[in-house]
Structure 1
């Protein structure tokens, strides 16, 4: 039987003498509605919420529980999902930006070569007379242009496999540059300069418009196909009529319509390149992206050249 001296103190003794040697029980703290928290031991809140140092427990203080942040309130599995989502978003954005830079770098090389050929065919008289005297080379370049264009557009494997894609793109650029230079040799230098200037303004305006606007032209691909078919029909009719008798206003009308339609094509292909619309080009299709923009810009130049050439005559 345990003696009374070794028995634990009663509840009243522990309540009135908290520092009793054999005190093994502390009453539960009461909740304070005014402060919204449990009161700490004596001196706890007067010391800023930190237990005071005492001689009986030197250097010891209880662990302060910090309030969890908002991100810590998210379960670990959900946090990993969010991190993966933002990481994928950043990676896709960086890939798209690298793709856009690659396409515009290739496009800049193509346009620099094409307009150099146009300048040579326009300013160097022996070259200009040569291409006018031998139109068969023009028709041969047209055939090469058509065949290579069909290969790059219809076949995915050649336009994605390096270095065949760049080789085919180079042949295509050479053929279209010769065609553009041959057509430019029939016009005055002033008309060529005017067409180049207007083309540059149109291309810059279209690029800024596509990067700023919320209008999605990729959702109107059906209307653009109809516009392309109508342009082809008008071109055939114009070619037939002009082969019998030259009609100035008909030629001007066809050239103006062609410039407008290819400007819309340029907007459409630029938005495909950006990739934040309903339709987008895969980052692997950098040759297709450069090819589309290049064809649009050169055709805009040729149609504007016909308008400016007719206006300066």
Structure 2
């Protein structure tokens, strides 16, 4: 028989084929692996685009000077920050409709990449490189750990409510920092807390990728993990930048 999400035959494919990703896996391992490869391929393209756009913003100095050195540029920069949130609204409706979903995902990714590039503007290249290397190491390590843990029956779904509450605290803390700057030490503490939270989200969203997302939700799975990686990078960047000053 077929499972409720239409992934594959319950039991038969798992017993006759590959080792499942996690105990009690109900869909075909081939289909789940195909889904995972598709999601990570999209994320890889998103990260390459982010690096390319960020490099452009960093190397073409008039771009950063316009956005961060003039009132008009600052207004446009604020609008760019809101573009990803605005794009998520139609994306939630068209995420299964090709090629509209990929077009919206491209707009979402490029706008975030531009904001990341401007966040890195006027930052020492050594600091950026340190943040990139540490982000890559942490993401790979946490991803491998989550796959290993899932194959042994561990479940990280319980992290959801705790991480959501932690993000609320992080947002409030950020507003306090904007209104009442508390200095370099406070910035480093904020960055450390944010890094820990988004490490948790990488584990949580990777676990969802392995077990809970349906095959048609590859766009949402990609968006979730991409945002986790970008937020982890920005958190580490704030730590290294504060320590370098």
Q: Distance in 1 between matches of 2:229 and 2:83?
A: 19
CA deviations 1:260-306 (Å, max 9, x no partner) are 1111111100111111xxxx111110000110011110111111111
CA contact (8 A) 2:13 2:29 kept: no
Q: Which residue of 1 aligns with 2:5?
A: none
Residue from 123, 141, 147 that aligns with 2:59: 123
Shift of 1:206: 1.0
More displaced stretch, 83-92 vs 166-175: 83-92
Residue from 214, 220, 223 that aligns with 1:291: 223
Q: Which residue of 2 aligns with 1:203?
A: 139
Q: Which residue of 2 aligns with 1:235?
A: 174
Three-state SS of the structure 2 residue aligned to 1:222 is helix
* Consecutive unaligned residues in structure 1, runs of 5 or more: 1-82
CA deviations 1:214-240 (Å, max 9, x no partner) are 432113322122112121221122222
Q: Distance in 2 between matches of 1:239 and 1:122?
A: 25
CA contact (8 A) 1:255 1:306 kept: yes
Q: Which residue of 2 aligns with 1:26?
A: none
Q: Distance in 2 between matches of 1:84 and 1:284?
A: 19
CA contact (8 A) 1:263 1:300 kept: yes
Aligned pairs for 1:108-187 within 5 A: 108-133=44-69, 134-152=73-91, 155=92, 157-187=93-123
Which structure has greater helix proportion? 2
Q: Which residue of 2 aligns with 1:310?
A: 242
Highest Rg: 1 or 2?
1
Q: Distance in 1 between matches of 2:201 and 2:132?
A: 18
CA contact (8 A) 2:159 2:200 kept: no
CA contact (8 A) 1:262 1:300 kept: yes
Q: Which residue of 2 aligns with 1:85?
A: 11
Q: Distance in 2 between matches of 1:93 and 1:84?
A: 11
TM normalised by structure 2 equals: 0.84
Task: Give yes or no for the alignment of 1:300 onto 2:239.
Answer: no
Q: Distance in 2 between matches of 1:84 and 1:303?
A: 42
CA deviations 1:81-138 (Å, max 9, x no partner) are xx97323765621111110011011100000010122222223333332332222221
More displaced stretch, 167-176 vs 129-138: 129-138
Q: Distance in 1 between matches of 2:75 and 2:167?
A: 28
Q: Which residue of 1 aligns with 2:43?
A: 107
Q: Which residue of 1 aligns with 2:6?
A: none
Task: Give yes or no for the alignment of 1:95 onto 2:31.
Answer: yes
TM normalised by structure 1 equals: 0.66
Root-mean-square deviation (Å): 1.9
CA deviations 1:133-167 (Å, max 9, x no partner) are 22222111112111113443xx3x31111111111
Task: Give yes or no for the alignment of 1:282 onto 2:218.
Answer: no
CA contact (8 A) 1:122 1:189 kept: no
Aligned residue pairs, count:
221
Q: Distance in 2 between matches of 1:151 and 1:200?
A: 31
Q: Which residue of 2 aligns with 1:30?
A: none
